Structure 1
């Protein structure tokens, strides 16, 4: 299995109630029921307020590297990620477990 973690940081001046952020969060929440390669899916807004904290996180798992590629290339994932490019930056980590 591969764990796929993503941490998002909203761009300067963008708040969680920005319509783009609200729509982006909804788009990612929906992916868990849309992309069959996902074996585990959760995402949500960070609940702590610390300078080093990111704002939104995705924690997911897929079977193998091929499934991860299919997930990343899936049109629904591409559409959701494109929304976030407008108002945030992110970092990822993928590891086997």
Structure 2
């Protein structure tokens, strides 16, 4: 990716928006995590998964990206997992 929208916060850097973070991760999914991109912003049972991908064993991987601290990320991923298990879209 030629352009990454970063902002300096004190002594560190962060993406300007969560969408910028998602764009970067999606464009570099293979290089960052060794994952094969599958779907982005996937809607399942009233919820939106940021990124769905496959690992080298063809297992589904759900990525929920946060540009800041979020204490409820585990509960959110658990809901996505249960919805995907029930719906079996892939």
TM-score, normalised via structure 1 length: 0.34
Is the radius of gyration larger for structure 1 or structure 2?
Answer: 2
TM-score, normalised via structure 2 length: 0.36
